[in-house]
Chain A
Amino acid sequence: MSKVIIIDDEPLARSMTKEFLQKHPSLDVIEECNDGFEGLKAIQTHQPDLIFLDIQMPKINGFEMLELLDNPPSVIFTTAFDEYAIKAFETHAIDYLLKPFTQERFDQAIAKWNEQQANSNPSQTQELLESIAQSPAQNQRIVVKNGSKIKIIPVHDVHYLEAADDYVKIHTAEGYFLKNKTMTWFENTLDKQHFVRSHRSYIVNVQQITRIDPYEKDNHVAILRSQVHVPVSRNGYSKLKNVLGI
């Protein structure tokens, strides 16, 4: 028996998936969830083998939910329309069902998943999440786990980002939050007009900068409204000048 969780904010959509699952008695639906928060909790509790995941949902979307999981389960996305997502699915050979879908198409997706299980192919979910970064919904906010709570940080509240081993520290007025992502991921995700990689280990929110002072030979330092000094490399300085139009 494989454990399955269905995460979708529309009851009828969930019942559709459940109906199609009747043909697959080896798959057992252990929980249905209304949104990403519920989904996250259910996944952590039950450790399912497979989830059916909608993308557009209240609070946090399907991708943001996956980002918060350390070991995301296999995913079959069920979505009505999302041009960014569909492109990403196609490039990562992850299966997705476009609503409305048929039993046949559904069975195909299950067959594909079974095959992947048999070959123990690694899930490509992580790579998918890397590439989905550019979608417009993703670059307006950052979702992080803060203890057991989920925190949604609007990007304009971010002062600067700092590399910290495998994590990135997201500094805000409320202190910092950690997210298990690379600097490059953030550099690509965030709006380049507002967030500049000023240094190998720093990305700074341009709107927080009050002034830029020279610092030692060839280097500069950006002074933020919060009086924090953020290092600026030579390369970073020219990027900053470019964005600020100076």
Chain B
Amino acid sequence: MQPSPLSINKFRIFFILCTLGILTDNIIVIHYLNQPWEIAIVDGLVSVGLLTLAGLLIIHTLRFYLPTGKQYINIFSKCLILAVIWVLLIKVILHFFYGQNAAYSKLLYESLPVRFSIGFLLLGCFTMIGILWFSQQEQKESETRKQDAEKLAKEAELFKLRQQLQPHFLFNSLNSINALIGTRPEEARRMVQQLSEFLRGTIKKEDTDWISLKEELQYLELYLNIEKVRFGNRLSTAFQIDKESTELKIPALLLQPIVENAIKFGLYDTTGQTEIILSAKKEGGHLLIAVTNPFDPATASPIHGTGFGLKSIQRRLYLLFGRKDLLTSTAKDNTFTSIIKIPQTQNHE
């Protein structure tokens, strides 16, 4: 339910001032029409008091039932009825007080149509203000709701995209550790350590976190070391990082899925020696990172088309930067390269 406009100070003052203005006006007019001050004041208090009550009633009604479309006719007919009741009440009450006063009685009787017109006009204005206020409130509320929903959906999507930690990877790593425990317990211990740190990093980091390339690379190294244990000598990696780029910032866990993708096609889907090269340099206002891996065109393309599973990364970049041109990939001969551009304009600290 929306707050009543009267709950806001500015409107309360406006409402009171209006009431007082109309009251003063009423008193002066009655006095001007040759009635004594006493009668003019009582007349004013009764008329304006009842009108104020009617106004409050309208506000209260609108608060619960905001008219839509054709209901406007309905609400204005209610105004009309309210104005009629108001005039009748004035007549009865004031007649009760000053019925014996013939001059006033006559004035009261003759002024009824005028009073009705003014009352209806005022109540109508009041209703209009109320409707405007409440529909604006409702719009504001639905706007906020919509924004909240969008924000939630975006967060959930980002969360899902980054939580795509492969259960396959996890269980296979555990299996490797299991195998190492019997024969090479020292290595098993080291791998448990690396796997834990890797998992901790996945859980801890938020999408909104920006970390230095150096940090992200350290994290990737954990991942690649685990894969090296799993696949023995088949995997080798090379980092070619320009000095000036190491302190540049990137969103946490952004590079991870790209390297995962390189591993998926370069290591999981080929049989020979696999080298994965990661290079980074600064170019204009961007940090440019390229990941290169070998792939087998005969088996890789039939499964995954040409997209190479980079869609989710593309999507994440779009959610983060609102751009679709930040990730490009090329497949040439048996080498696949993904290039990602990270704008360095972001204000992050």
A59 touches B299 (CB 8 A): yes
Q: Kindly list chain B residues whose C-beta atoms are within 8 Å of the C-beta of A56.
A: 168, 268
Number of A-B contacts (CB under 8 A): 82
Q: Chain A contacts of B178 at CB under 8 A? A: 16, 99-100
Shortest C-beta distance, A33 to chain B (Å), equals: 10
Q: Which of B167, B182, B183, B302 contacts A141 (CB 8 A)?
A: B302
Q: Chain A residues with Cβ under 8 A from B122's Cβ?
A: none
Q: Is B159 positioned at the interface, with any CB of A under 8 Å from its CB?
A: no
Does A100 contact B271, Cβ atoms closer than 8 Å?
Answer: no
Would you give the shortest CB distance from B253 to chain A, in whole angstroms?
A: 21
Does B339 sit within 8 A of A, measured CB to CB?
Answer: no
CA distance A153 to B298 in the complex (A): 8
Interface residue? A107 (CB, 8 A): no
**A153 B269 Cβ-Cβ under 8 A:** no
CB nearest neighbor in A for B183: A15
Which chain B residues (166-195) contact chain A, with CB distance < 8 Å? 166-168, 170-172, 174-180, 182-183
Given contacts A13-B175, A80-B167, A100-B178, contact A152 B302 (CB under 8 A): yes
Q: Smallest distance from the beta carbon of B68 to chain A beta carbons, Å? A: 38
Is A90 an interface residue when CB atoms closer than 8 A count as contact? no
Q: Contact between B175 and A100 (Cβ–Cβ < 8 Å)?
A: yes
Contact among B180, B229, B271 with A35 in the assembled complex (CB-CB below 8 Å): B271
Given contacts A12-B230, A98-B171, contact A19 B182 (CB under 8 A): yes
Shortest A143–chain B CB gap in Å is: 9
- CB contacts under 8 Å to A, within B238-285, are 268-271
On whether the beta carbons of A141 and B296 are closer than 8 Å, the reply is no
Q: Give the contacting residue for A11; candidates B167, B232, B271, B303; CB below 8 A.
A: B232
Of the four ranges (under 10, 10 to 19, 20 to 34, 35 or more), the interface on chain B belongs to: 20 to 34
Chain A positions within 8 Å of B174 at CB level: 99-100
- When the two chains form their complex, are residues B271 and A58 in contact, meaning their CB atoms are under 8 A apart? yes
Given the interface pairs A10-B231, A13-B175, A59-B269, the reply to whether A152 lies near B299 with Cβ below 8 Å is yes
Of B171, B180, B271, B301, the residue contacting A12 (CB under 8 A) is B180
- Taking a contact as CB atoms under 8 Å apart, the answer to whether A155 and B230 are in contact is no
Contact of A80 with B175 in the complex, beta carbons under 8 Å: yes
**A49 in the interface, Cβ–Cβ < 8 Å?**
no
List chain B residues, Cβ under 8 A from A137.
303
Query: Residue of B at shortest CB range from A97?
Result: B175
CA distance A222 to B182 in the complex (A): 62
> CB-CB < 8 A to B168: which residues of A?
56, 80-82
**B contact face: mostly helix, strand, loop, or mixed:** helix
What CA separation (Å) do A11 and B231 show in the bound complex?
A: 6
A12–B180 CA distance with the chains assembled, in angstroms: 7
- Given A59-B271, A80-B167, A100-B174, residue A19 in contact with residue B302 (CB < 8 A): no
> A140 to B303, Cβ gap below 8 A?
yes
CB within 8 Å for A154 and B232 given contacts A12-B176, A19-B182, A81-B171 = no
Nearest chain B residue, comparing its CB with the CB of A55: B168
Which of A11, A12, A98 has the most B CB atoms < 10 Å from its CB? A12
B327 to chain A, nearest CB (A): 23
Within 8 A of B (CB), among A12-30: 12-13, 15-16, 19
Supposing A58-B269, A153-B302, A154-B302 touch, asked if A99 and B175 sit within 8 A by C-beta, the answer is yes
Most buried by B among A13, A58, A137, A140: A58
Compute how far the CA of A13 lies from the CA of B168 in the bound complex, rounded to whole angstroms. Answer: 13
A35 to B166, CA, bound (A): 21
A64 nearest in chain B by CB position: B299
Q: Are B172 and A10 in contact (CB under 8 A)?
A: yes
Q: Which residues from chain B contact A37 at a C-beta distance below 8 Å?
A: 271
B167: A residues at CB distance < 8 A: 80-81
Q: What residues of A have a CB within 8 angstroms of the CB of B229 in the complex? A: 12
CB distance from B192 to the nearest CB of A (A): 12
Contacts A9-B231, A56-B268, A60-B299 given; 19 further ones with Cβ under 8 A? A10-B172, A11-B232, A12-B175, A13-B172, A13-B179, A16-B175, A19-B183, A58-B269, A58-B270, A58-B296, A80-B167, A80-B175, A81-B171, A98-B171, A99-B175, A100-B178, A141-B299, A153-B302, A154-B302
8 pairs of A and B residues whose beta carbons are closest in the complex: A154-B302, A80-B171, A99-B175, A141-B302, A16-B179, A100-B175, A100-B178, A12-B179
25 examples of A-B residue contacts, CB within 8 angstroms: A11-B231, A11-B232, A12-B232, A13-B175, A13-B176, A13-B179, A15-B183, A16-B178, A34-B271, A35-B271, A37-B271, A58-B269, A58-B299, A60-B299, A81-B166, A81-B167, A81-B171, A82-B168, A98-B171, A99-B171, A99-B174, A99-B178, A137-B303, A140-B304, A155-B302
